């Protein structure tokens, strides 16, 4: 990809401004092409296989989130000391701290083949240059500490910034496809030669500590961030820059780099004083213990009939099925999917953003976007197994939420939302949805397309009352990603920037013991709704029945009172007294 200035940790609400379904399709296509759910780093195209040995060149493998490279690699790393590697700060995927002790990070050194060979070093700590939570271009550096020394030969830092016109070389394992072609991630290390350009040739450069290089041929793209820009010094190589971005406004530019010579003092200081530098406190992740299935949110839910030994159930939106399992597609209007095989990895992260555990989907039990927008998967692990490993389990509410109820939308920022009303019919493109929850507009409930499938959790923190589903993004009427409300008289109303969620209580009537989905069970109206048969609103029917019984009781009471009155009159006429009113 050619994404200029896109950090891997830009706030999600800023990045995910694409429409919900279009965003999902694009994100899933990207995951199919790169086998990753992470924001892309950069990579080489129009390069060649490495022409010599580079023992200092390393492949960063964070383990989680999944990275695009065939060896689990997502960025380049340069060995600058037996115990230290240097990469880009934005390659850090798990949390927003500047200094920390990672979990599961490794770097492979000494092999041109990123899938095997060489030497694997475990990262014990990391130190990011920028202060704050986001990397700053021109300061996009991160030092990696290895407690066990690496036996490969490190590379020195360049003593000075290379002059304009200096010949340079870049290395990486990233996407080597040309623009417009399907992404391809090589197994073998690639290289290309270029020259240092004047910063004026790169319109988007912001700081003097950035460099640009190019020659019009070799390009950087997805999954090569953190890789080295090399210069010749006394017949060997020295490290001059670290890849941080691309330049879209000048086709001659191969990539943009942080000038490591500008930060040599910081590098040496950290390497000599790291033991005295404490880890930052990692803010609690609201999605700790929740599934991580790419561009959608989801949750593990238990129905009224569920037992601890039942296989766990994953709940998300129907339009999120390609995110959970890329082999599937979104349900068509008026259709539903029922009990088909599924086999896809479901990772869970801990409170610091590192991998907690993984499970796999076994079957897609039900999915539709008509009547409601829900998808339910059965996993290969039991509720008891997942809970013992720290996974969050939510109980499906026994009753629908009430108007005015305050709920938590379980997204990466943890929004607080209020149920404003229930919308009988919502129309979005060719889909119609019933009994939607309209969430009150509020700055504390700013949903975005990446929050599709997010659980609406009751104040007790353990009950799911709904699933975030859709919002009217552009103010259009009844179009894709712009749902409209349809009144009983057919009148259409549009509420721009309005979020809607799906009710979930009906799932208790559909899920039997053993995590079996019974679409024909009494009270399970999901399949009927998907067929276009507007489902029976059980709470409404109960209310109507109670109201009807009340009318009947009142009528009987009036009849009884009238009969009693006539009886009293008859008695009075016989006795000659005056009846009471």
Give the pLDDT of residue 538: 41
Contact 458, 484 (CB under 8 A): no
In sequence order, the β-bridge partners of residue 100 are: 126
**Closest residue by Cα to residue 211 from 176, 174, 263:** 263
Please tell me whether residues 46 and 126 are part of one structural domain: yes
Structure tokens at 351: 């409170």
Give the pLDDT of residue 245: 87
CB neighbour list of residue 12: distance below 8 Å, 6 or more residues apart: 412, 448, 450
Contact 246, 217 (CB under 8 A): no
In sequence order, the β-bridge partners of residue 471 are: 499
Structural domain includes residue 462:
yes
Q: Rounded to two decimals, what is the model's pTM?
A: 0.80
The Cα 57–Cα 51 span in angstroms is 13
Q: Work out the widest C-alpha separation in the chain, in whole angstroms.
A: 133
Structural domain includes residue 26:
no
**Closest residue by Cα to residue 316 from 137, 117, 464:** 464
Please tell me whether residues 524 and 552 are part of one structural domain: no
Q: How many domains does the chain divide into?
A: 3
E-only strand ranges, 331-370: 336-341, 345-349, 355-368
Please tell me whether residues 523 and 559 are part of one structural domain: no
Structural domain includes residue 182:
yes
Structural domain includes residue 352:
yes
Please tell me whether residues 511 and 581 are part of one structural domain: no
**Closest residue by Cα to residue 455 from 493, 519, 390, 401:** 401
pLDDT tens for each residue of the chain, 581 residues long: 222 333 333 333 333 323 444 444 444 444 443 333 333 444 454 568 999 999 999 999 999 988 888 999 999 999 999 999 999 999 998 888 899 999 999 999 999 999 999 999 999 999 999 665 666 788 999 999 999 999 999 999 999 999 999 999 999 998 888 777 888 899 999 999 999 999 999 999 989 999 999 986 778 777 789 999 999 999 999 999 999 988 888 888 999 999 999 999 999 999 999 999 999 999 888 899 999 987 899 999 999 999 999 999 999 999 999 999 998 899 999 999 999 999 999 999 999 999 999 999 999 999 999 999 999 999 999 999 999 999 999 999 999 999 999 999 998 878 999 999 999 999 999 999 999 999 999 989 988 878 999 999 999 999 999 999 999 989 999 999 999 999 999 999 999 999 999 999 999 999 999 999 999 999 999 999 888 765 444 443 334 333 344 443 444 444 444 444 444 333 433 333 333 33
The Cα 30–Cα 25 span in angstroms is 8
The Cα 62–Cα 76 span in angstroms is 12
Please tell me whether residues 443 and 559 are part of one structural domain: no
The Cα 358–Cα 347 span in angstroms is 4
Please tell me whether residues 489 and 346 are part of one structural domain: yes
Residue with tokens 């910063």: 199
Give the pLDDT of residue 25: 44
Please tell me whether residues 520 and 571 are part of one structural domain: no
Q: Is the dihedral of CA 377, 378, 381, 383 positive or negative?
A: positive
The Cα 172–Cα 228 span in angstroms is 8
In sequence order, the β-bridge partners of residue 78 are: 57, 86
Give the pLDDT of residue 47: 64
Give the pLDDT of residue 473: 87
Structure tokens at 519: 């679409």
Structural domain includes residue 28:
no
Give the pLDDT of residue 48: 84
Please tell me whether residues 556 and 521 are part of one structural domain: no
**Closest residue by Cα to residue 485 from 540, 439, 432:** 432
Give the pLDDT of residue 14: 31
Please tell me whether residues 113 and 187 are part of one structural domain: yes
Structural domain includes residue 286:
no
Give the pLDDT of residue 581: 32
Three-state SS annotation for 2-34? CCCCCCCCCCHHHHCCCCHHHHHHHHHHHHHHH
The Cα 454–Cα 296 span in angstroms is 8
Q: What is the DSSP letter of 461?
A: S
Domain that holds residue 443: 299-530
Please tell me whether residues 378 and 468 are part of one structural domain: yes
The Cα 337–Cα 330 span in angstroms is 10
Structural domain includes residue 4:
no
Residue where a domain terminates, one of 530, 554, 572: 530
- With 0-12 / 13-18 / 19 or more C-beta atoms within 10 angstroms meaning exposed / middle / buried, residue 570 is exposed
Please tell me whether residues 345 and 369 are part of one structural domain: yes
The total of other beta-carbon atoms located within 10 Å of residue 188's CB is 13
Q: What is the CATH number of the domain that holds 135?
A: 2.40.10.10
Contact 204, 184 (CB under 8 A): no
Structural domain includes residue 157:
yes
Please tell me whether residues 346 and 413 are part of one structural domain: yes
């Amino acid at each position: 990809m050619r994404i200029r200035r896109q950090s891997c940790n830009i706030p999600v609400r800023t990045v995910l401004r694409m429409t919900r379904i279009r965003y999902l399709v694009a994100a899933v296509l990207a995951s199919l092409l790169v086998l990753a759910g992470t924001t892309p780093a950069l990579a080489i195209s129009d390069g060649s296989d490495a022409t010599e040995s580079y023992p200092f060149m390393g492949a960063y493998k964070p383990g989680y989130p999944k990275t695009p490279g065939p060896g689990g690699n997502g960025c380049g790393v340069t060995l600058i000391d037996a115990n230290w590697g240097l990469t880009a700060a934005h390659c850090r995927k798990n949390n927003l701290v500047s200094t920390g002790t990672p979990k599961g990070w490794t770097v492979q050194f000494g092999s041109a083949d990123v899938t095997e060979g060489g030497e694997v070093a475990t990262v014990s700590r990391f130190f990011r240059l920028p202060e704050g939570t986001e990397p700053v271009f021109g300061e996009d550096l991160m030092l990696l500490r290895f407690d066990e020394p690496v036996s490969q030969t490190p590379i020195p830092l360049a003593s000075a910034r290379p002059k304009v016109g200096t010949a340079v070389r870049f290395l990486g394992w990233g996407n080597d496809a040309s623009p417009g072609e399907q992404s391809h991630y090589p197994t073998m290390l690639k290289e290309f030669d270029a020259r240092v350009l004047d910063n004026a040739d790169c319109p988007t450069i912001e700081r003097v500590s950035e460099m640009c290089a190019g020659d019009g041929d070799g390009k950087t793209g997805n999954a090569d961030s953190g890789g080295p820009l090399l210069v010749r010094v006394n017949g060997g190589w020295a490290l001059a820059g670290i890849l941080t971005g691309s330049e879209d406004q000048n086709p001659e530019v191969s990539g943009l780099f942080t000038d490591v010579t500008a930060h040599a003092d910081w590098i040496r200081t950290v390497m000599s004083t790291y033991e005295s530098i404490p880890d930052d406190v990692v803010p609690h992740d609201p999605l700790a213990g929740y599934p991580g299935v790419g561009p959608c949110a989801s949750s593990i839910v238990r129905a009224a009939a569920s037992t601890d030994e039942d296989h766990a159930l994953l709940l998300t939106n129907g339009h999120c099925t390609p995110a959970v399992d890329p082999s599937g597609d979104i349900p068509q209007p008026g259709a539903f999917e029922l009990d088909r095989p599924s086999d896809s990895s479901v990772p869970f992260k801990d409170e610091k953003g590192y991998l907690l555990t993984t499970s796999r989907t076994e079957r897609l039990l039900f999915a539709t976007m008509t009547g409601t927008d829900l998808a339910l998967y059965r996993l290969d692990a039991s509720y008891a197994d997942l809970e013992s490993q720290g996974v969050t389990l939510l109980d499906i509410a026994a009753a629908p939420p009430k108007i005015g109820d305050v709920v938590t939308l379980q997204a990466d920022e943890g929004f607080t939302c209020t149920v404003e009303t229930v919308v009988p019919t919502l129309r979005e493109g060719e889909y119609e949805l019933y009994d939607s929850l309209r969430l009150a507009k509020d700055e504390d409930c700013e949903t975005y397309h990446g929050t599709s499938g997010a659980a609406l959790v009751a104040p007790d923190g353990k009950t799911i009352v709904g699933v975030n589903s859709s919002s009217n993004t552009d103010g259009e009427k009844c179009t894709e990603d712009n749902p409209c409300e349809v009144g009983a008289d057919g009148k259409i109303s549009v509420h721009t920037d309005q979020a809607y969620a799906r009710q979930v209580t009906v799932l208790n009537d559909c899920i039997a013991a053993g995590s079996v989905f019974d679409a024909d069970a009494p009270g399970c109206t999901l399949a009927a709704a998907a067929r276009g048969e507007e489902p029976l609103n059980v709470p409404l029917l109960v209310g109507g029945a109670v109201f009807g019984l009340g009318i009947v009781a009142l009528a009987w009471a009036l009849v009884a009172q009238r009969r009693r009155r006539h009886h009293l009159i008859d008695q009075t006429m016989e006795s000659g007294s005056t009846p009471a009113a």
